[in-house]
Amino acid sequence: MPFAPDHGTSRPQGVRRLSAAIAAGVMAIAAVSLAPRPAVADAPWLDVSEDGYVAFNVPAAYVEASVGQVAQLNVEGNFGPSFAWADYGLTRRGDVWTGAIGPLKPGLYSYQVTGDDTKGLKDPTNGTGVASKPLWSTFFVPGESARLLADVPQGQGGKVETLTYRAQQQERSALVWTPPGYAPRGPKAYPVLYLQPGDGGSASDWLDLGRAKQILDNLAAQKAIEPMVVAISDAGGTDDDLRQALAGRYRVLRDPAHQAIAGIGAGGAQAVRAALARPERFAYAGSFSGLAADDPGRALNRHPKLLRLYTGNVTDPAYNATYKLTKALDRARVGYEFDGVNPDAGGNWNAWQENLIDFLPRLFRKVRDHGPSDGHGPLKGAFTPPAPGTTPTPFVTKDGFVTFETTTAFKDAQQVKVWANWAPNGSWLRVPATRAGDRWRVTVGPLDPWFYYYQLIVDGVSAKDASNPTKVTSEPNWSTFFVPGKRARLLSDVPAGQGGKVESMTYRSTVANADRTALVWTPPGYDPNRAEPYPVLYLQHGSGQSYTDWVEMGRAKQILDHRFLDGDLVPMVVVMGNGNVPDFGKELLENIVPAARSHYHVSSDPSQQALAGLSMGGVQTFGVLKAHPGQFAYIGVFSGWFGDETGVDAAAINKGTKLLRLYVGDRTDFVYPFFTSSLATLDRLGIRYEFDGVTPGPHGWDVWQKNLIDLTPRLFKR
């Protein structure tokens, strides 16, 4: 199958599809095995598993009735690295658009369904909503790290009410949270936190997206915060009129020692100004991804009780502004606290939820801890990618942030996205870029050390990143890049001169009636004249791919080089042939194998021969095993399935096979259902096999690279 997903991604125009024969077979099996839900509007479109996998099943009939025919359907949401907004493509299977992604980190997610990039849909089966974004729905992935975002037991939380007031001759409103036990009459008055959304935001965003009520309820239940009243206004809504209206309706304190203000973006900048310039109003201020602030050198009050700054990582638009502000505060000798750089979130609600959780317990009380949150790092300096046009892209920092930049070829484009395998465990997401002069740019990360591949989607059409010299022969629009690190060591290049060699081998195909090419890896020190011939692994690609893919995409050379140098690999020859033929068994046994034996010193002993393949290549591998049991003593199948069991000689397979080792991705791998059916078939037939267990990831190279890493050290050792 192609490394670009058939499952989990709608293909833009210009992206190659499965070969017709394999595609028809796969789709037929998928239609039965994946069993999408019936195409009815009231069946849930969204299912969230206990371990964070999210499945979408959207009825095609509902989409067409709502927005007309669509060529592709995406789920837009905060699924990307650092919770960036990204598109996840669904696949049309019968009368349902379907897909699965995960596992997602615990937390709150928002999403909408979009056809052809412009036709938005609200999920009618999800009762949640976002008042300021009518097409959005939300869902919650529970977990220990998100426990303060969960609902408290009914009746144990505070209350949220709407406060209506007049400001500048206009009627306005704010949302007010009162703590558990609050009574409208009594001797006790409460301190106040004025909480603001970002520029252009709505007060309801703090409830719909920020989970402010849940956070306040949970912290109050734990007695982790002082009892307080929290007034949540629209952007720029914290003014004298609101303060007066709040004091007229609620029992609140009005002295500055019991007043706090915090906000996002421009609201954060306002909070900073309030703390520094208006000592008669606020003693506490929090800036969450504050975008700008006045020069603190002009501040009237240099000693607020608390001025605490927050920023996400370098993908946060406020990152550099926060760095600039800290330097200005230092020069002005204004005291402040910095929560540190959040390494796992950018400028989004997932970060601001954490900011609120950290900020609230510091209000109206003495605290001992004035340092950054656990895991947060220092502001080392402004983030400055190379100037436009000065370097090939992508630009990769040592901590895994990747900046993509187009050439000027797309200066007239309306929309540019980068589509890559950077979702959880290697699923594919498209992250939108922003216009930067006559180019487009986006920074994504932090990405785990690994091998990544991507293409540009320009106004819905796939395009090669012309600034990236890497290539994928079978998919010309894809480019690759590598993020180094310990996790990706086996995918990195070994020092020059220490690895094996990859050579091209031309052979005559009687099946294709043409000359064809295979790539052959020989180990370091390969000796064509040694006494014993080398064991040989015949390694096959998937549908839509060719003999080049295991080297260009699968990192086979790097994996084999490292395994050999680590002493884990029996010296062997690996032959990567072209499996795009109607009769693979004949092609392998009559063309590829004889050619390998004539060009290289490889064994013809079945006990020294191995065969492995991914997806279509895995199906072909099973086919050879069934038709020619014992011809290859070592068998590996990656994301493949057994197929027809008619006439299978289980006894011959068991007798002639030293190792039959099977691999599959997780539930996001679309072959998973019929792979598991294959295990049942093998059990029923009594065929011995090893199952490596689920490899986290979808039907893609992130999984198959790990499979090759696991399989190769097991060959020719029994």
Euclidean distance between CA atoms 28 and 5, whole angstroms? 17
Q: How far is CA 178 from CA 71, 192, 227, in A?
A: 49, 10, 8
DSSP state, 596?
Answer: H
Please compute the mean of the pLDDT values over residues 361-375 and round it to a whole number. Answer: 95
- 11-25, 241-255, 526-540 — which is least confidently predicted? 11-25
* Average pLDDT score, the chain: 91
DSSP state, 20?
Answer: H
- 14-23, 71-80, 432-441, 575-584 — which is least confidently predicted? 14-23
State the pLDDT at residue 42: 73
The residues, any chain, with a CB within 8 Å of residue 362's CB and separated by 6 or more, are: 284, 306, 308
Assigned fold of 36-142: Immunoglobulin-like (2.60.40)
Identical fold for domains 154-362 and 490-714, yes or no, is: yes
Euclidean distance between CA atoms 119 and 7, whole angstroms? 22
pLDDT, one tens digit per residue, over 199-231 is 888 999 999 999 999 999 999 999 999 999 999
State the pLDDT at residue 222: 96
**Residue 42: HSE in the Cβ half-sphere, 13 Å Cα cutoff:** 0
- Tokens representing 243 are 């303060």
Cβ pair 27, 475 in contact under 8 A: no
Euclidean distance between CA atoms 195 and 420, whole angstroms? 37
State the pLDDT at residue 314: 96
pLDDT, one tens digit per residue, over 699-716 is 999 999 999 999 999 999
State the pLDDT at residue 20: 33
The rounded percent of the chain whose pLDDT value lies above 70 is: 92
Beta-bridged to residue 63, according to DSSP, are: none
Whether pLDDT at 170 is above 90: no
Q: How far is CA 57 from CA 25, 26, 39, 65, 90, in A?
A: 21, 19, 9, 16, 9
State the pLDDT at residue 169: 78
Query: Which CATH architecture fits 395-484?
Result: Sandwich (2.60)
State the pLDDT at residue 533: 98
State the pLDDT at residue 17: 31
Whether pLDDT at 28 is above 70: no
What is the SS3 assignment for 245?
A: helix
Higher pLDDT residue, 237 or 91? Answer: 91
pLDDT, one tens digit per residue, over 224-269 is 999 999 999 987 666 788 999 999 999 999 999 999 999 999 999 9
Cβ pair 435, 508 in contact under 8 A: no
Burial class from Cβ neighbours inside 10 Å (0-12, 13-18, 19+) for residue 653 reads buried
- Tokens representing 2 are 């192609």
State the pLDDT at residue 332: 87
Cβ pair 49, 62 in contact under 8 A: no
Whether pLDDT at 298 is above 70: no
Split at pLDDT 50, 70, 90, the class of 303 is low
Cβ pair 130, 110 in contact under 8 A: yes
Please compute the mean of the pLDDT values over residues 49-77 and round it to a whole number. Answer: 96
One DSSP character per residue, 399-467 reads TS-EEEE--GGGTT-S-EEEEES-SGGG--EEEE-EEETTEEEEEE-PPPSEEEEEEEEETTEEE--TT
What residue ranges do the domains of the chain occupy? 36-142, 154-362, 395-484, 490-714
Whether pLDDT at 395 is above 80: yes
Whether pLDDT at 24 is above 80: no
Strands (E), 556-608: 573-576
State the pLDDT at residue 277: 80
Which one, of 271, 301, 302, 305, lies nearest residue 288 by Cα?
Answer: 271
What is the SS3 assignment for 207?
A: helix
State the pLDDT at residue 32: 32
Higher pLDDT residue, 194 or 33? Answer: 194
Q: How far is CA 404 from CA 393, 442, 443, 470, 473, in A?
A: 6, 5, 6, 14, 22
DSSP state, 543?
Answer: T
Euclidean distance between CA atoms 526 and 343, whole angstroms? 46
User: Euclidean distance between the first and final Cα of the chain, in Å?
Assistant: 31
State the pLDDT at residue 570: 98
* Radius of gyration from C-alpha coordinates of the chain: 30
What CATH code would you report for 154-362? 3.40.50.1820
Residue 156: phi and psi, rounded to 5, are -100, -5
Higher pLDDT residue, 389 or 160? Answer: 160
Whether pLDDT at 442 is above 90: yes
Whether pLDDT at 512 is above 90: yes
Which one, of 698, 705, 716, 718, lies nearest residue 55 by Cα?
Answer: 698
Euclidean distance between CA atoms 298 and 294, whole angstroms? 8
- Tokens representing 231 are 């007034």
State the pLDDT at residue 237: 65
Amino acid at 49: S
Whether pLDDT at 718 is above 70: yes
One DSSP character per residue, 110-139 reads EEEEEETTTEEE--TT----BTTBTT-EEE
State the pLDDT at residue 510: 97
- 28-42, 139-153, 293-307, 613-627 — which is least confidently predicted? 28-42
pLDDT, one tens digit per residue, over 558-581 is 999 999 999 999 999 999 999 999
Domain 490-714 is found in CATH 3.40.50.1820: yes
State the pLDDT at residue 524: 98
What is the SS3 assignment for 563?
A: helix
pLDDT, one tens digit per residue, over 321-350 is 999 999 999 998 889 999 999 999 999 999
Split at pLDDT 50, 70, 90, the class of 41 is low
State the pLDDT at residue 635: 98
